[in-house]
Structure 1
């Protein structure tokens, strides 16, 4: 009996202990398991395991918990390699992530960072390329250290980072001017930008509450604003400022960490003579009787008088010459103002921004034997005024080694596609045919063979511009560019291959191979596609209009996540050709149909049409339907606000498995997007928010919990699938 009582006591004690520690939240376990795997399962992370486990209950090294949630991960200086996990966004309670002073990277910083971080430290790693724009939405962030990496592009809008107090971007390869949104970091006190290639002025920093600023060793120019000169810890040397402070004021404070001190190799020399030539000693002139000074003064006066006389004569002849030209009706200045060439508008080419990446490319990292194309630069000629004899041909050089994509040879892709055989043809669109390509390591790509028949001049120049721009795009719902080929007159782009094909085929082909899309999956596809367009319109700079958004350009991966293709292509094809394309019939906004002019709002209209396809299962335009039903928008719009008619419109393949409120709100979003007047259509950011609210307010999770592919939404209202 006593043993029984002892056993009960032990059991109660164990229960209490379990209640205190608790099992770690399943999402946190999943994220940390993935993180451990992407770090190549390092033994120095004691107690970590690649599957299951209990980070909070088993005291994983560097992990701190509160209850069942992981709140900090701090593993600096542990010789870790690999990268961050792709699903770190599941760590919704994580406030601090410190992986500094390791060997992580060799690729971009993943997009799915923990959304509610207060401190993020990736200092002294090997991350390359572009910052993920998801940082733009981390409004709780207070400390961000990305110093000492190989990052090259700021793809972040800082408008929401009003709590950020410390930002370190030092010792990277950032270039271009500082983003205007820097001015919105109203709590920023410490900013390190040293040892990059920033250009332009630092005026955008004027009104920030900075107490420490280091912009040394960049390519800044202009003047230092007076407000910034009052900063005690100010370092500006190694630039081209017109009013730099004295060198002594630029020395870093004694408590500045070594990682933030300017590089000795780029510090200006201090060996100049400190004495001014005009400040001679008394002994130099002590024996003078003053005569030489008088003679020198007379000589100077004579020179000044001569210059005044010459200047007057020159001015007289210039005035007389101008008067004669006016009499002859030949006012050259007026003609120049009227000349379209003189206005400079014809020379305004969109600049190609440099994208830095690992020069080896993705394929070499995976030990794939691919021959990289040898040329490192290609010249793009700007338009010029041929009538100006002083004009010299201007060129813009694109560094191919800086493009974030593998350079394949034609031979590589011919082997992978079996000489672009018809058996490997998977599609044909506005810009060319797409072939399935299988590389020697069994990796499968989709190779797009660009048709440049619509571009009469310099197709290779346009192609390099295309590659440079497309490789710069970075969003999980965009089709990822893997590589390119530009040789022997061929222009080829290689993308990740998505096994589930495009949304159009999954919705409309009845070949027995397509599987039915659940309501949750349709919402998932709509939301992911909306986020992609939001990125192109409102996050990426300069903004991009897709112009060719349709269900056949929405590719689906194994988990039915959407990936938008053909982004960045439309600028190379005239609006008129897009307008006349039968493939776009049904997706074109009224104003685009009438005038051939496309805008962000015409993309919004096209997105609304795709939502209608998801809702009804019908094609955007179907000539096999009765005439009144051929245009999906015309047929569906009058029924969107009638609940009875709306139910009748729903795709029969859903078999009634959808929440009524969710359906109604989905229809409301469609109605806004397909309004005939572009000014009444919402921006994509509002469409995204309406879809997020749709999920939050509906009973999708409860009503469809039995579905294998149902959506999950976290407590913050953000979506995870």
Structure 2
């Protein structure tokens, strides 16, 4: 009897142990997506894209606490592909080390929200550091060294007061150091060497540093005495005549250099697990910082495996289930780093301008992929951040604006919208801007105008129209914005027949992606989340290079909930079904309206057109049943494209449209997932072009 009781207890304990080993479903899903995005490599033993228990089965590189994943350490395994798009689900992850692989492309926007150590070094990443990093207030260690990151460092460090080690060495970054560096009150170690930074280093002067490397940049000006002392102290610790210390996790193996230590022979940081820096560095002897830049010699070929599968049409409502037949790309590896003591070099063109963020939003905790009516209701706010009441916008007098618009003359009238009229304005400095004259009858409370201007002026994204100034006098409420010479997307698609051919398929995809990024910024980077309420092609302005800029952002809170703008949006075919019923707009109704804009780009048709047969008047009703039919897509696409497109690209674009315009708001994806899907579409298209070009050679 005693044996039976003991056996029973053993079985109960054993089953309880296995039950505890079951990984949190959101964590397991994120790892499966990651495995698939990494092209299901054999190096990741026990990993699976369809099932499995990461914690209970001890997947390679995975550490858990209870049923939550706390660490992912898969450095130096030769992995390719991408990290997936569900990293924000890993809310218990504190250490992510995926350094020294071949991931290439851009650092993903979606990152674990509570990570403390983030090591992305040595992956060939291009583009910039995503502004989502500014949301990870728990971050203590950030290493993005030994990549090909370009452009300027944006103002993303204001909320990162816990960050103590920052390594962005051996990249192609330019511009001045951001003022938000001053907020890094815990910073001990900064490695900026081997970039193309300019300006002075004064912003570092008051940080509690004990290790600093700024070599091989183009800094100018006097170095603060405190920083000289730190650099000299760091340099004196590496004067040993013995061999150089080993490279750290997150840095490629160091090569022997023929240069002396004074020329930066071993410039890569050796930051061990504690973030310490042991690499040899040279001090800077004069009060001026020499402009020394690096020349990267890239050796090796790109191995490409093109996986062709017959396209399957589907009715899935989940964006992660879209076709992801990947091109497996072994990214270019930097085989040799040669330091040249030239005073200037040609910088690499940035693929995308980094986004400067002044709102400093709190971290976003996505326990699982957001799919509710309103994204803002799904956010778990870890730290409350209030917006500053200061405004970057210039205050104009009514006399200034009247002079610039010739007293709002008809000749300067650009258009009439649902919330105001827009005029071209020529100011005294030769600057051409636009003035939006808001209809006072549409304002919820005119007194709120001046309260909202600071918030609107802080919106800072390359695809959001910038607020330059404002005027509030004599009952007038005026907003002054930057001017975009190519007008609106609506005019390009529906009024400029001769210019319509300029909107190639690639340009249309670019416009969709840029607009999606703007909405992603409003919905997921701003706190609280901003609902646009009035997404339509008339509010997407095109600059000289046909890049999109979303206008009227941030104006929703000024307007009445049930206003002519909302009614117009519904009547014109952009409004989501639930908005027509409730009179309320949410982030999910914005997603729907964006899907309608994508349909416009796809078909060249207006969202609602009474001149067409009754069954074709509503673009969504006419197009939706055909979006999963490959044969129908070519008949639906804008005839002005004259066949100059890829069928696969059309099909994948249609997949995203179908998800965005679903009648049930809970099934529409968040904009971050839409962005990821469009990015993958662009990447596949670029790869296909390279392959086609190679075939022609």
Structure with greater proportional helix content: 1
Normalised by the length of structure 1, the TM-score is: 0.46
Normalised by the length of structure 2, the TM-score is: 0.48
Q: Using CA pairs below 8 Å that are at least 6 residues apart, which structure has the higher relative contact order?
A: 2
Larger C-alpha radius of gyration, 1 or 2?
1
